[in-house]
């Protein structure tokens, strides 16, 4: 096999657009008010498409997402195919279909990390945020069964006004369940979430309180917690929470997570609706170097011009800006909503924000 034309460490594969939950914070691209292509390919074509993308990128990690991946009947075949190619597989699932049989089929070693939502220790809140009664019981059982099978599990907490008050206890539940880490993500508007911003969006102050608790929990239990949705440094002084991991937009870099939908359309990430093209018709290099992708990578909000951290932070989530405000050059809607509170990073640090 020749060297990949354009190296990419990993990508996200949305195996299906179907889902058995109805989360008010869902960011899925096809849930935005755009004419997004719907459907999926048969198994053989899906595997061929994956092979093409893997050959052209040399990716060693694929995160299977959706929708709900386990709704796809050939999911195990996809996992086996990727394993046979030596690719590490992560599975992002709501856990509702991870019964004992499914767990047994996916172990041992077929999936490297399972990411499951744990939205609240309060059953009612978790079920409300999942849009599915009984979701809490199913996901907690799934996590426990995965841990019994000695699998690696990361719980995802999407921080909103609905569940923020229960964050601390929820984190402890995740720890008691044996989770290997928590992804602590602020609500990032997009998809269905665009219609629920007022109901869901927490303030920076409330989120800082959450981060303080996360820091304390991480210290007390020596437990890893990561904020994987951009937290703009002009609103959050990251150094205050030195136990937590913080990530920023990787669009266009080797560590970007280009997203492949079930029909082969490639997007900059799973939050964006921007289709760069179809991998079955064009090469990945063409898509990654297209004018649309270059524009996406170059995008910086006017608000952030001149900030010393502009090139690092990139103004937060460009995809959220794109889907909520029409362009990746707009400000991240979170930043936009709280712009009056933003301070240059150095001043932020001095004020102990």
Partner 1 sequence: MVQRVIGVWMIVVGLVGVVAVIVLVAMRLDARGAAQRGPWWKRRLIAAGLATLAALGAVPRNATAADGPTEVAAGQADAETGEDATEAVKAIFALKAALERLDTTLQQTDFQREALQGAMAQCRAQLAVLSDADKTATLTDEGRAEAKRLVAGATDKLATAEALLPIGTNDLLKAPQWATITAAWEYCQPLADSGKSTNAERKKVNEHIAAAKKAAKALAAAGLLTGAEAGLLSAELDRIKTAVYRNPPTDTPVMCYDSGYLPPARRSTQRLAKRLPLLKAVAEAERVNPEALAKVLATVEKDLATLADEQQVEALGEGKSKAAELREAVAPLVEQIKAKVARTRLERTEAWGKVEAFREACKAHEAERPDLAGRFAEARKALDELLEAGLIDEARHAELQAEIQKAVLQRTIERDTPMCYKPMFRGDSRVTPEQRREILDRLERDGRVEPALARRIAADLEGGAERAL
Instruction: With beta carbons less than 8 A apart as the criterion, state whether 109 and 64 touch.
Output: no
Go through 55-90 and write b for each residue having 16 or more CB atoms within 10 A of its CB, e for each that does not.
Answer: bbbebebbbbbbbbbbbbebbeebbebbeeeebbbb
Instruction: With beta carbons less than 8 A apart as the criterion, state whether 295 and 328 touch.
Output: yes
CB nearer to partner 1: give 47 or 154: 154
CB nearer to partner 1: give 124 or 205: 124
CB nearer to partner 1: give 48 or 97: 97
CB nearer to partner 1: give 47 or 132: 132
CB nearer to partner 1: give 250 or 325: 250
- Chain residues in the site for partner 1 (CB under 8 A): 9-10, 12, 113, 121-122, 137, 140-141, 144-145, 147-148, 150, 154, 169, 172-173, 175-181, 183, 221-230, 233, 238-239, 242-250, 253, 255-257, 269-271, 308-309, 312-313, 317, 344-347, 349-350
CB nearer to partner 1: give 47 or 207: 207
- Both structure tokens of 105: 């089929």
Nearest C-alpha neighbor of 138 from the set 19, 49, 279, 21: 21
- Cα Rg of the chain, angstroms: 20
In whole angstroms, how close is the CB of 179 to partner 1 at the nearest point? 8
Phi, psi of 157 (to 5 degrees): -110, 115
In whole angstroms, how close is the CB of 312 to partner 1 at the nearest point? 5
CB nearer to partner 1: give 47 or 230: 230
In whole angstroms, how close is the CB of 10 to partner 1 at the nearest point? 6
CB nearer to partner 1: give 47 or 120: 120
In whole angstroms, how close is the CB of 163 to partner 1 at the nearest point? 14
In whole angstroms, how close is the CB of 323 to partner 1 at the nearest point? 15
In whole angstroms, how close is the CB of 147 to partner 1 at the nearest point? 5
Strand 245-246 and strand 181-186: pairing?
Answer: unpaired
- The neighbour count for residue 230, using CB atoms within 10 Å, is 24
Strand 259-260 and strand 245-246: pairing?
Answer: unpaired
CB nearer to partner 1: give 257 or 296: 257
CA atoms within 13 A on the CB side of 299: 28
Instruction: With beta carbons less than 8 A apart as the criterion, state whether 119 and 129 touch.
Output: yes
In whole angstroms, how close is the CB of 224 to partner 1 at the nearest point? 4
In whole angstroms, how close is the CB of 281 to partner 1 at the nearest point? 26
d(CA 128, CA 20): 14
- DSSP assigned state of 112: S
Instruction: With beta carbons less than 8 A apart as the criterion, state whether 41 and 16 touch.
Output: no
In whole angstroms, how close is the CB of 42 to partner 1 at the nearest point? 28
CA atoms within 13 A on the CB side of 181: 16
- Both structure tokens of 121: 């220790």
CB nearer to partner 1: give 35 or 242: 242
Instruction: With beta carbons less than 8 A apart as the criterion, state whether 319 and 290 touch.
Output: no
- The neighbour count for residue 2, using CB atoms within 10 Å, is 6
In whole angstroms, how close is the CB of 249 to partner 1 at the nearest point? 5
């Amino acid at each position: 096999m020749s060297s990949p034309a354009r190296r990419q460490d990993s990508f996200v594969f949305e195996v299906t657009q179907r889902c058995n939950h109805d989360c008010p914070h869902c960011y899925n691209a096809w849930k935005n008010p755009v004419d997004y292509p719907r459907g999926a390919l048969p198994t053989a074509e899906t595997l061929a498409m994956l092979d093409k993308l893997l050959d052209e990128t040399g990716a060693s990690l694929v995160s299977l997402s959706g929708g709900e991946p386990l709704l796809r009947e050939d999911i195990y075949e996809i996992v086996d195919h990727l394993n046979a190619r030596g690719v590490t597989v992560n599975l992002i699932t709501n856990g509702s279909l991870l019964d004992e049989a499914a767990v047994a089929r996916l172990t041992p070693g077929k999936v490297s990390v399972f990411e499951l939502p744990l939205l609240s220790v309060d059953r009612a809140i978790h079920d409300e945020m999942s849009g599915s009664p009984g979701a809490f019981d199913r996901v907690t059982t799934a996590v426990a069964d995965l841990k019994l099978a000695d699998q690696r599990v990361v719980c995802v907490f999407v921080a909103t006004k609905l569940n923020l008050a229960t964050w601390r206890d929820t984190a402890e539940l995740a720890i008691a369940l044996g989770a290997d880490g928590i992804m602590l993500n602020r609500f990032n508007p997009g998809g269905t979430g665009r219609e629920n911003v007022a109901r869901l969006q927490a303030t920076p102050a409330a989120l800082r309180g959450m981060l303080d608790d996360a820091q304390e929990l991480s210290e007390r239990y020596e437990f890893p917690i990561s904020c994987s949705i951009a937290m703009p440094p002009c609103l959050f002084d990251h150094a205050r929470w030195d136990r937590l991991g913080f990530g920023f937009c990787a669009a266009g870099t080797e560590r970007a997570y280009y997203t492949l939908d079930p029909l082969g359309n490639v997007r900059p990430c799973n939050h964006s609706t921007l289709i760069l093209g179809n991998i079955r018709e064009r090469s990945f290099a063409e898509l990654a170097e297209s004018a649309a992708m270059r524009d996406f990578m170059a995008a910086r909000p006017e608000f952030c011009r001149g900030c010393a951290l502009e090139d690092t932070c990139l103004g937060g989530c460009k995809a959220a800006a794109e889907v909520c405000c029409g362009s990746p050059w707009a400000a991240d809607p979170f930043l936009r909503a709280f712009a009056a509170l933003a301070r240059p990073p150095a001043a932020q640090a001095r004020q102990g924000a």
